[in-house]
Structure 1
Amino acid sequence: MAVRIQSEPLDPGAELTGFASGRRDLGAVVTFTGVVRDNDAGDLQRLEIEHYPAMTILAIEAMVTEATARWTLGDALVIHRHGPLAPGDQIMMVATAARHRADAFQAAEFLMDYLKSRAPFWKKEVTRDGASWVAARDEDEDALSRW
């Protein structure tokens, strides 16, 4: 199980190649890669992501621990970026591996919902007209409530 918070770009293909490799006991690997999307006005210049490193890593590690307790996982990986990101940049990746696909899918969805609504990151949208902090969305809270 691993959690990484980094400013450097991530390479989902390379991460997937190394993730759970050589494991003969796993029958499913699920991955999700999040990408910075443009805002509704189409004028996003960048998304700035801030965090407190020690707090963020501990909070996400706790969620990975919870996921491994709730589902039978052989491995899990969460990578999240911080700093300035442009539309189209990869912002995060979740990978889960399990003996059976249901555990891998459910654990991955749980982790993605957590990252979207509870991980201690602060996001600021910078446009041609200025900057504003991204507010929590009801849809993200609703998604988390199913767990």
Structure 2
Amino acid sequence: MDTKQLSERIRVQTEDFSVEEETNKVKNSSKRIGGIVTFLGTARDFSKGRDIHKIDFEHYPGMAQKRLAEIREQALKDYDIIEVSIIHRVGEISIGDNIVLIVVGAEHRKDAFRACSWCIDELKRITPIWKKETTPQGEVWVEEHP
């Protein structure tokens, strides 16, 4: 896959994304795809007993994309899937807005579910993207990734 094609599948961006458009890109990548699983992470207004007014995401430019590409490649290698797309937003995110999208296409749903679950867990584990929540009590950097 060339760099342009990879940048369609792996993105860190400030702009919102269309779940439908991104799902269609994966769906249209192969006629063998019979199951597509998506994970959509959105900004919620409550966390650990605190109201949240907004969330800011910072990242290590270049390295975050590299880690997402590694996650994609590992998922394609380890799971019986056909295609994976991972998009993560950075910058200021309003409550209710999209944050992260993972789309996995496979011949069968079980493989797509397993790979999608692994991708989000691995993203939270190794990707240098950090979350800061703004609460009535001030700003809080989130250290753990449930």
Coarse TM-score class (shorter-chain normalised): 0.7 to 0.9
- Alignment correspondent of 1:53: 61
- Alignment correspondent of 2:18: 11
**Conserved? CA contact 2:29–2:83, under 8 Å:** no
> Partner amino acid for 1:134?
V
Q: Secondary structure of 1:73's match?
A: coil
**Conserved? CA contact 1:124–1:133, under 8 Å:** yes
1:26 pairs with one of 26, 33, 38: 33
The two structures, once aligned, show a CA RMSD in angstroms of 1.6
Worse-superposed segment, 80-89 or 115-124: 115-124
**Gaps (5+ residues) in structure 2?**
1-5
- Alignment correspondent of 1:113: 121
Which deviations, in whole Å up to 9, do the C-alpha atoms of 1:103-127 show, x marking residues without a partner?
A: 1111100001112333211111112
Matches within 5 A, 1:64-83: 64-83=72-91
Pairwise CA distance, 1:42:
5.1
Pairwise CA distance, 1:72:
1.9
Aligned identity (percent) is 32
**Gaps (5+ residues) in structure 1?**
141-147
Runs of 4+ in 1 over 4 A off after TM superposition: none
Task: Give the number of equivalent residue pairs.
Answer: 138
Q: Work out the CA distance in 2 between the residues paired with 1:50 and 1:4.
A: 14
> Partner amino acid for 2:52?
L
TM-score relative to the length of structure 1: 0.86
1:103 pairs with one of 98, 111, 115: 111
Pairwise CA distance, 1:22:
6.1
- Alignment correspondent of 1:145: none
